[in-house]
Structures are given as structure tokens and as C-alpha cells.
Chains A and B, each alone.
Chain A
Amino acid sequence: MWSWLSDPNLQWVLMGSLLLGISAGAIGSFALLRGRSLLGDVLAHAALPGICLAFILTQNKGLLPLMIGAAVAGLIATKCIDFITEYSRIKEDTALGIVLTVFFGVGIVLLTAIQHSGAGNQAGLDAFLFGQAAAMIGRDVWVMSIVAAALLVFSALFFKEFKLVCFDRSFAGGVGFPVRVIDTVLMALIVMAVVVGLQAVGVILMAALLITPAVAARYWTDRLGLMVALAGIFGGASGVIGSLTSALGPRLPTGPLIVLAATVLFLLSMFAAPSRGLCAKWRRAARLREKVQRENFLRDIYERYELALPVQQVATEDLLAPGVPLTNSGPGSDERSHVRSKRVPRIARRLERQGLIRIHEHEEMSYCALTLDGLRAAWDIAHKHRLWEIFLMHEAELRSDHVDRDADDIEHFLTPDLVASLEQLLKVHQREPKLLPSVHPLKTGGMDSWTHTR
């Protein structure tokens, strides 16, 4: 059933879209990071009048003359954008919109004129709108592979320069790199990548093949080199998948299918990518929420123990064993509690599994007792929260009942000296935690340690 794959025509098409996808994806990474995403769209649309004029002038439908026409038109379009932004008050996005539509409009007019001119060989020129991979022939693929190879060699050679210019233009200029030249080279590469794909993908959707694989690749890695490689792979895969699907059905346009394939890859990346993906983000948020709840729960219990103590003292097993009631009137129920009551049973079970608390029944009531490990954790949390309270009371002059919510924000915030003076203030305000896990409980050190321990 795979015999159709041996069709030499299809093999050329697959080869062509693979090369196209790889080069567009790789260059697209730089276009994206340089903040030039929309420019690809302008270049592609602006190519249409160039293609039409090249045809009118040469009466030739070969890829090379049409590509040259498209590239020249694209470069003129970018010059127009530069001109408009430099010599008028019009902002860049508006200039992009104007140039894109004007050039595309001119292109459509020319295309219609050509179609009605009765020139014998004009048929197929309109395929440039949505792309027609099936129209690719061996000679086209040779041109494409030369262009793709050139693009990849250039991005490898100037990787360092492109990276620097995309990340920090002013530094690049400051250390003496010819920023304008590098920018122009990058722009020329983008033009080449766009133009080479016009035949297969079409002027309307070509920009998607430039940008979508790059955006998808960004989700998977934090390294530029890897991102460029991945974008190339995603682009190549989209090209192949799109052309194959298009070859399966009758008269399915290639361009949209290639772009759809890239979009599917993008959606997959957006949801499933580790660490930057949405699912990973949701998981992290849930974990953080749970951590905060556990800490609030421990702090609640700790404060209940504390209420019963007249003076500061070191805890013993016996002192902890009776516990505090864990019912509707237990932690999480009244208004000064930090935990919402419906979550109490789940949090309690989890803490018990971790060996931080023990739950026991007594006269039809549940009681929750801290273990010695649990007390150490609870003391630590209470201590940090009170330092934070005191800090905010004194530094930002907030009332203390407003300040206990965001203890996590304190990371990298306070110096050890400041912590030492806060400890003094804790004593002054009699807010030192009363129930000590040992005679000399470990100080929480710099606030930096907070995030690492949790």
C-alpha cells in the first residue's frame, strides 16, 4: 500500500518540503527572537507582485526568475517600512500593516491581469497564493537545496553574531560588532527562507512556517542552539507531513496542510513541553498551593499549642502528645485560621504520612499532635512568618494582620544583618515562637535559605 511513496514525483516533493521546513524553521528562530515575526508575513505577501512582474518580464515560470522577483519585492517592502517609520510618526506595526496590504493588493491586481491577458503559459501562477507542492520538479528541488544549505551554513557561521544582536543590540554595537550589517545579513536570510517556500506553501501562509516551528521549539529548551535545531526539525516534519497528507487526497492545497501540521506540533509543545509547557505550569502551581496549605496547617497547629503556654519552653514528647482538636472547631475552622476547612482532612492525611503529625481519636473527637519532626518544621515556619511580619510592620508600616500572606516573596530580600535585627524586634514585640523544638533551635539564617529548604 506504500507503493505510491516510490513515485519519483512525490519523492521530489517530499524532499523539497523537508528542506524548506528545515531552513524556514531554523532561520525563523532568529526572526522570532529578533522581534521580526510579522516581518516574515510582510515579506511573503510582498513577494506576490514581485513574482507577477518577474513573469511578465520573462514570460518564464521557472523557480529562479520568480524567486529573484519575489526577493527584490520583499527587500523593497522592508525598505518601505524603514522609510515610513523613520520619516513619519507612524509606528512600526502600522507601517507593517500598510506595506503588507498595499503590496499584496498590487500583487492580486497583477495576477488577475496576467490571467486575463491570455498568455498561454500563465496557468499555475495562482498556485503561489496557497502553494502547490505537487508543482515542484527536480530542478526546483535543486535550487531549494542550494538555498537551504546556504541558509544553514550562514546561521552556523554567524550563530554567535545573530545571538548577540538578537539578545542585546546595544551591547553588540558597544563592543564593535557591525550591528547593521549583521541585521542586514539576517534579513537577507529571512527573505531567502520565505521566498524559497512560496511555491510550496504560498504567499499567504508562508510566514506561519517561519514562525510556528520556532515558537514550538522555544517551549522545549532554554538553549538557543538547541532551539534552532529543534525548530528546523519541527519545520521539516511539518513539511513532510503536510505534503504527504496533501498527496493522499484529491486537490488538497499543500500550504495550508503544512501550516496545520506545524500548528499541531505547536499545540503539542504548548501543552506537553516539560517546564515551559502549560501542563507543567499547572502542576507547579498546584504543588505550590499545596505546599502553602501544608505550611499554613502546621502553623495553625503550632499556634494552638502556643496559646496554652504561659512562657517559652522546650517541647517534650509528653507535652506534644495530647494534641489539638481536629474537627469542625479544629485547625481550619475559625476565622483566624489560615486553612480552608474543606481541605483540612486531605492535608492532615498527607502530613501524617510524612510523619510530621499524628492523628488520634479521643471521646469521638479527632486530635492532631505534632511529632518532634513536625514541631521542628512548624517552629521554622512560624518563626519565618513572624520575622516577615515584623519586617513589614517596621519597614513598610503595615498593620500586622495584613502582613502574613506572602511569606514566600521574601526570598533574596533581606540581608543577614537585617535578619539579626528582626530577631531582636521579635523579642521586643514578644512575638518569639514560644514552643521550642530544642534548647537552642537552629536560626533560620539568611532569608535566602527559605526557598531552598522548601
Chain B
Amino acid sequence: MSLTTNTESTPEQPSDSRTGGNSHPASPPLSETHRETPAIEVHDFSVAYRKRPVIWGIDFKIPPGHLVGVVGPNGAGKSTLLKGILGLVPPASGWVKIHGQSYKRQRKRVGYVPQRESVDWDFPTNAFDVVLMGRYGHLGLIRRPRAADKEIAWEALRKVGMADYATRQISQLSGGQQQRVFLARALAQNADVYFMDEPFAGVDAATESAILELLADLRSQGKTVVVVHHDLQTVSQYFDWVVLLNMRLIAHGPTEDVFTVDTLQKTYGGRLTILADTAHSVAQRTP
């Protein structure tokens, strides 16, 4: 699969050189196997809002099939990193590749769960319609969803246990249910790489376990899920890969190697004292 996608990418290369002239040496040679193509590759990536840099020179590669936690203090630029990767905010420098190609070309292989608070839940629509929006990207402009798209949306609703609520107006759903609808919408995108912005924020216990089940299921299908996460206590339990961020990249890699007292101290600075519990539990885990 990567062979064909890579050959397709050749004509696209000139446009890549606009953002990063060194994309040629960095892109993997055609002979490499699919396994070795990172699901996500971020190179020298910076984003600035009104000339004030938010994230600076971020570099990392994530191999496919991992659950990745993006962790860092408030204002560390976690959401901005996601938005930058998805092209929602223009980068000041650097480039991003999804399975070896520019995000623009791989859009249909990427699913996105924005923060729940980012939308007006009093919007006149029901849960099913929101999930169906996950198919819009595949449809493109003007075309209407077909029966097959609706079937996919139903399947996604069933997977998150929300099929009974399909016709509910979305403001009639609890916070956790709304989050599950957002997840179902991402599932309906049928993507290989998912980006989720704080899906665990403010959800009930039932939704939390539903999300975890879903994440495990996605990983078992070889998909890659990147989750912005706030709760340090659960990081090592939920994710097998972490990206520690505080405007700059602090560390990234498998959780057991990277999620240590030392890196946390670097990420959170003095503020880690408040999180002594986590530091303690992490210290116990790492001999």
C-alpha cells in the first residue's frame, strides 16, 4: 500500500518543498515497507498566533498502531498542535506527513474529534445527523449522503452504544453522550489515523470506559489514535506512546521509556509539586 501511495506522492513533492525544503531527504525511500512508514511524521513544526509562537520546532514520528497521549500543562499548545497537523491553523514552519504523504492528500484517512465545547449543542440537529457528518468529507461538495453512508453512520452509533439515541436532539444528550456522538462521527470517517482533542474531559464513568474500549478496538485494527489528555494519573494506563509538550517538544516515545519523573519535571516545571501523586506513582513504576 505504501508503495503505491509513495509513487503517487511524487508529483506532489514541489508543493511540499514550499514548507520544508528538506522533505526529500526525510521522506522514506520507496523500498521501505509499510511497517516502517510512520503513521504521523511531524518535522520542525511551529505555529504562531498573531506572531506570538505557540509551538516551536516540533519533531516526532509515530509508528502505526499506537495509542498516543499528548500531554502537557495548560497553554502548552496541545490543541494547537492538533489543529496545526489538521491544517486548521497555518504553520509558521515545518511540515506534517500522514502515512508518508501530505495531510492534504491523506485527508480521507484522518478522523478528527474536536473539543466538545467547540460547538453549539443547541444546534437544530439530532445525533444521527451529526454522525452522518463524518461521511461529508468522503462525499465532497454538493453530493448528498447515500444509503451506504447512512449504514456506516448507524454502525458507528451502535459501536459507541448510542443507537437508541439516534433521533434525539443533541442538546437533550448528557455531556458523555455528546462526546460519544462526536466519537461516532469520527468512526464514520473510516480513518486510519485519529486525532481527538480531550475526549475524556468531563465525561461520566460509563462514557470513559466506552471510549477506552473503542481506543483498544481501533488499535487492534492497526489504527493510530492521538489523544490530547489532561489527567496525568491515567496516562500510563491509557496510552502506550506519549508526546510530552510544553511549547517545545519535551520528549516522545513509548510510555514506559518516556513518561518518567524527569521528563514530567521538564514538562511541568515547578508545577509538578502539585502533582506529587503522579510523580510518586511514576517513580514507583520506573525502577
Q: Among residues 106 to 129 in chain B, which have CB atoms less than 8 Å away from a CB atom of chain A?
A: 107-108, 110, 112, 114, 118-120, 123-126, 129
Residue interface mask A168-194, B partner, CB < 8 A = 1: 101111111100000000000000000
B125 to chain A, nearest CB (A): 6
Number of A-B contacts (CB under 8 A): 86
Does B83 lie at the interface of the complex (its beta carbon under 8 Å from any beta carbon of A)? yes
A170 in contact with B114 (CB, 8 Å): yes
Q: How far is the CA of A418 from the CA of B86 in the complex (A)?
A: 39
Q: How far is the CA of A337 from the CA of B184 in the complex (A)?
A: 46
Does A227 lie at the interface of the complex (its beta carbon under 8 Å from any beta carbon of B)? yes
A33 in contact with B124 (CB, 8 Å): yes
Q: Among residues 127 to 177 in chain A, which have CB atoms less than 8 Å away from a CB atom of chain B?
A: 157-158, 160-161, 163-164, 166-168, 170-177
Q: Which of B130, B174, B189 contacts A175 (CB 8 A)?
A: B189
CB nearest neighbor in A for B110:
A174
Q: How far is the CA of A413 from the CA of B177 in the complex (A)?
A: 12
Contact A167-B125, Cβ < 8 Å, known A175-B137, A176-B137, A412-B174 = yes
Residues of B contacting A168 with CB < 8 Å? 114, 118-119, 133
CB nearest neighbor in A for B125:
A224
A167 in contact with B86 (CB, 8 Å): no
Does B274 lie at the interface of the complex (its beta carbon under 8 Å from any beta carbon of A)? no
Q: Among residues 195 to 217 in chain B, which have CB atoms less than 8 Å away from a CB atom of chain A?
A: 204-206, 209
A161 in contact with B141 (CB, 8 Å): yes
Q: Among residues 213 to 255 in chain A, which have CB atoms less than 8 Å away from a CB atom of chain B?
A: 218, 221-224, 227
Q: How far is the CA of A82 from the CA of B152 in the complex (A)?
A: 40
A173 in contact with B133 (CB, 8 Å): no
Q: Which of A171, A223, A412, A415 contacts B133 (CB 8 A)?
A: A171
Residues of B contacting A415 with CB < 8 Å? 205-206, 209
Q: Which of B83, B118, B126, B206 contacts A412 (CB 8 A)?
A: B206
Does B88 lie at the interface of the complex (its beta carbon under 8 Å from any beta carbon of A)? yes
Does A109 lie at the interface of the complex (its beta carbon under 8 Å from any beta carbon of B)? no
The listed residue with most B CB atoms (<10 A of its CB), out of A157, A174, A221, A223, is A174
Q: How far is the CA of A102 from the CA of B88 in the complex (A)?
A: 34
B125 in contact with A163 (CB, 8 Å): yes
Does A279 lie at the interface of the complex (its beta carbon under 8 Å from any beta carbon of B)? no
Does A414 lie at the interface of the complex (its beta carbon under 8 Å from any beta carbon of B)? yes
Residues of A contacting B185 with CB < 8 Å? 171
A174 in contact with B120 (CB, 8 Å): no
Does B147 lie at the interface of the complex (its beta carbon under 8 Å from any beta carbon of A)? no
The listed residue with most B CB atoms (<10 A of its CB), out of A157, A167, A177, is A167
Residues of B contacting A166 with CB < 8 Å? 123
A222 in contact with B169 (CB, 8 Å): yes
CB nearest neighbor in B for A160:
B136
Q: How far is the CA of A172 from the CA of B114 in the complex (A)?
A: 11
Q: Among residues 159 to 176 in chain B, which have CB atoms less than 8 Å away from a CB atom of chain A?
A: 169, 174, 176
Contact A174-B86, Cβ < 8 Å, known A160-B142, A167-B120 = yes
Report the count of interface residues on B (CB-CB < 8 A). 37
Does B52 lie at the interface of the complex (its beta carbon under 8 Å from any beta carbon of A)? no
A223 in contact with B119 (CB, 8 Å): no
Q: How far is the CA of A227 from the CA of B169 in the complex (A)?
A: 13
Residues of B contacting A173 with CB < 8 Å? 86-88
Q: Which of A161, A174, A176, A223 contacts B126 (CB 8 A)?
A: A223
A222 in contact with B125 (CB, 8 Å): yes
A355 to chain B, nearest CB (A): 31
CB nearest neighbor in B for A228:
B124
A170 in contact with B110 (CB, 8 Å): no
Q: How far is the CA of A343 from the CA of B107 in the complex (A)?
A: 62
Q: How far is the CA of A172 from the CA of B107 in the complex (A)?
A: 12
Q: How far is the CA of A173 from the CA of B83 in the complex (A)?
A: 10
B107 to chain A, nearest CB (A): 4
B7 to chain A, nearest CB (A): 22
Q: How far is the CA of A124 from the CA of B110 in the complex (A)?
A: 58
Q: Among residues 80 to 95 in chain B, which have CB atoms less than 8 Å away from a CB atom of chain A?
A: 83, 86-88
B138 to chain A, nearest CB (A): 8
Residues of A contacting B112 with CB < 8 Å? 170-171, 174-175
Residues of B contacting A177 with CB < 8 Å? 136-137, 141
Q: Which of B124, B136, B144, B176 contacts A222 (CB 8 A)?
A: B124
CB nearest neighbor in B for A157:
B142
A170 in contact with B83 (CB, 8 Å): yes
Residue interface mask A85-129, B partner, CB < 8 A = 1: 000000000000000000000000000000000000000000000
- A residues within 8 Å of B by Cβ? 33, 157-158, 160-161, 163-164, 166-168, 170-177, 218, 221-224, 227, 411-415, 418
What 13 additional pairs, Cβ within 8 angstroms, besides A158-B141, A168-B133, A175-B189? A33-B123, A160-B142, A161-B141, A163-B133, A164-B136, A170-B83, A170-B88, A171-B133, A173-B86, A177-B137, A222-B126, A222-B169, A223-B125
- B residues within 8 Å of A by Cβ? 83, 86-88, 104, 107-108, 110, 112, 114, 118-120, 123-126, 129-130, 133, 136-137, 139, 141-142, 144-145, 169, 174, 176-177, 185, 189, 204-206, 209
Q: List 27 A-B contacts (CB under 8 A).
A: A33-B123, A33-B124, A157-B142, A158-B141, A160-B136, A160-B142, A160-B144, A160-B145, A167-B130, A168-B114, A168-B119, A170-B83, A171-B112, A174-B88, A175-B137, A175-B189, A176-B108, A176-B137, A177-B137, A224-B125, A227-B124, A411-B174, A412-B174, A412-B176, A412-B177, A414-B205, A415-B209
